[in-house]
Amino acid sequence: MSVQREQIESIVAEVLKTLSATAPLTSPAIETGDWGVFEQLEQAVAAATAAYQQINTIALREKVVGIMRQAARDNARRLAEMAVEETGMGRIEDKVKKNLLVADRTPGPDFLSPSAISGDTGLTLVENAPWGVIASVTPSTNPAATVINNAISMISGGNSVVFAPHPAAKWVTQEAIRILNRAIHAGTGINNLLVCVREPSIEVAQRLFTQEGINLLVVTGGEAVVEAARKTTNKRLMAAGAGNPPVVVDETADISRAAESIYTGASFDNNIVCADEKEIIVVEQVADEFKRALSACGAVEISPEQADTIARKVLIDYPGPACRPNPKWVGRDAAEIAAAGGFSVPESCRLLFVDVGRDVDNVFARLEQMMPLLPVLRADTFDEALEWALILERGLLHTAGLHSRNIDHMDAMAKKINSSLFVKNGPHLAGLGAGGEGWTSMTISTPTGEGVTNARTFVRLRRCTLVGSFRIV
Ligand code: NAD
């Protein structure tokens, strides 16, 4: 049998490819590595593949999750400080709260339960199987909290995770990965359940969309990345996209409670949480009373002229249809935003607001600007307020809120708004388990519909049927 030169070269290339794919699993550099941070994407995926195969018992997953919770609690402040220092966004104290929230209230493996169907023809078992290696693209706005939250949810489902950090938050994202990996290794000997590359970029994130060895792609970010993933990925996609959550205050609301809720929610982490209140729509009859109550909480009302001056500084291409937030100003303190407008507010002020009347097209209402500056719109009636809320939510299917004691209003808005989260009479954060019932997540899957993600989101359902036996009745 004669073998052509090309065939030999092709066989050699194949063997080398196989060797390089398996080498990282045994290479000492990768066993210890830099606690999950790799030079090459292929190395990271290979290490994560080896890692998830090691968490093959529920007891081990529970142990790993317990270890991660503790490590996240112990490092909540350090990671919060790093995030603010690196990204310039948000508030340290709020980020500490966010890190603790995800450490404590992200559900673990106990959230998964198999189910059984028993009948005359036998028994069928439905089990929660891992996807294997999950790719998770993470935002700059909640860098550490998203790693902690995704790690707990995805490992609970028996998976490992390749993260694609936002380049502007790479140090803190990588440090969160290292901290969790070190703690897991110390407690179980397993490394690399969480991995990423040392130099994250949009290009590396895009390679993950089609990277071999990954079956599920989870994207947490704005509209552009969700669109890019939708267009190119050949994997199952779960997308946690942008929002522009409106909150309506009607004439029946407990006004001081509504003002306190909105002040707390909209100013949390300087408004960079995707679910935070982004525009307030008040029914005219109570608008002045509401504004006084909001000011009493510590918010400062600014004039439309001052808002315009701020917009020229903090938005790109303003005025104009393509205007958008300047990332340098996203998540800055209210005092810094005020200074951009040429005036000062007390350091204690966490929120600015501007009365824009009936201007639904106002730039601060239309844009998801993620700054602690909210427009207050005045609608004639609740029906009009709801109509505006629908316009401003833009079908993003994210979050909306209502302050009301009218059950018909609650019912009407719940049905029409069609958002993944709908929060009544509390800060929107309550919908993420902070002051409301339910678990938390930093990945609220909106356009693809998985909602507030958890361990159950990140498993494949597998069915096993036995015909004619194993029933006990
Ligand atoms: P971003 O969209 O700029 O970046 C998110 C991630 O996507 C980053 O890792 C970035 O590197 C990557 N990315 C961006 N464009 C890409 C492209 N074209 N191809 C491949 N990768 C790309 O978002 P951000 O500023 O970091 O975060 C804020 C945005 O994320 C807001 O719109 C917010 O509403 C949204 N968000 C949503 C949720 C949710 O759970 N639904 C949670 C947090 C943030």
For position 162, what pLDDT does the model report?
Answer: 98
Q: Is 420 in the pocket of ligand 1 (CB under 6 A)?
A: no
Under DSSP, is residue 300 helix (H, G, I), strand (E, B) or coil?
strand
The 8-class DSSP code of residue 429 comes to G
How many angstroms is it from 218 CA to the middle of ligand 1? 11
CB-CB contact of 401 with 424 (8 Å): yes
Q: Is 379 in the pocket of ligand 1 (CB under 6 A)?
A: no
Q: Is 122 in the pocket of ligand 1 (CB under 6 A)?
A: no
**Chain segment 188-203, per-residue pLDDT in tens:** 999 999 999 999 999 9
Q: Is 243 in the pocket of ligand 1 (CB under 6 A)?
A: yes
For position 472, what pLDDT does the model report?
Answer: 87
For position 17, what pLDDT does the model report?
Answer: 39
Q: Which residues contact 99 (CB under 8 A, 6 or more apart)?
A: 72, 75, 76, 77, 79, 80, 144, 145, 148
For position 103, what pLDDT does the model report?
Answer: 98
Question: What residue owns the CA closest to ligand 1's atom 44?
Answer: 221
Q: Is 142 in the pocket of ligand 1 (CB under 6 A)?
A: yes
How many angstroms is it from 225 CA to the middle of ligand 1? 6
Distance CA 385, CA 412 (A): 12
**Chain segment 151-162, per-residue pLDDT in tens:** 999 999 999 999
Q: Is 252 in the pocket of ligand 1 (CB under 6 A)?
A: no
Mean pLDDT of the chain: 94
- Nearest atom within ligand 1 for CA of residue 227: 18
Q: How far is the first Cα of the chain from the last one, in angstroms, to the nearest whole number?
A: 64
Residue type, 101: L
The 8-class DSSP code of residue 212 comes to T
Domains of the chain: 2-241+453-460 (3.40.605.10), 246-437 (3.40.309.10)
Question: What residue owns the CA closest to ligand 1's atom 22?
Answer: 225
Q: Is 139 in the pocket of ligand 1 (CB under 6 A)?
A: yes
Average pLDDT over residues 207-217: 97
**Chain segment 37-83, per-residue pLDDT in tens:** 999 999 999 999 999 999 999 999 999 999 999 999 999 999 999 99
Question: What residue owns the CA closest to ligand 1's atom 16?
Answer: 225
**Does residue 15 carry a pLDDT above 70?**
no
Distance CA 294, CA 256 (A): 8
SS3 content of the chain, % helix, strand, coil (to 5): 50, 20, 35
For position 62, what pLDDT does the model report?
Answer: 98
How many angstroms is it from 368 CA to the middle of ligand 1? 12
Average pLDDT over residues 429-458: 98
For position 383, what pLDDT does the model report?
Answer: 98
Q: Is 60 in the pocket of ligand 1 (CB under 6 A)?
A: no
**Chain segment 313-344, per-residue pLDDT in tens:** 999 999 999 999 999 999 999 999 999 999 99
Q: Is 173 in the pocket of ligand 1 (CB under 6 A)?
A: no
Q: Is 138 in the pocket of ligand 1 (CB under 6 A)?
A: yes
Q: Is 326 in the pocket of ligand 1 (CB under 6 A)?
A: no
How many angstroms is it from 140 CA to the middle of ligand 1? 7
**Does residue 2 carry a pLDDT above 90?**
no
For position 32, what pLDDT does the model report?
Answer: 52
For position 470, what pLDDT does the model report?
Answer: 87
> Which region, left, alpha or beta, applies to residue 320 given φ > 0 means left and ψ of -120 to 50 means alpha?
left
pLDDT band at 457 (very low <50, low <70, confident <90, very high): very high
Work out the percent of the chain whose per-residue pLDDT is above 90. 92
CB atoms inside a 10 Å sphere around CB 465: 11
For position 469, what pLDDT does the model report?
Answer: 87
CB-CB contact of 196 with 44 (8 Å): yes
**Chain segment 96-129, per-residue pLDDT in tens:** 999 999 999 999 999 999 999 999 999 999 999 9
Dihedral, CA atoms, 54, 57, 62, 65, nearest 10 degrees? 20
How many angstroms is it from 149 CA to the middle of ligand 1? 16
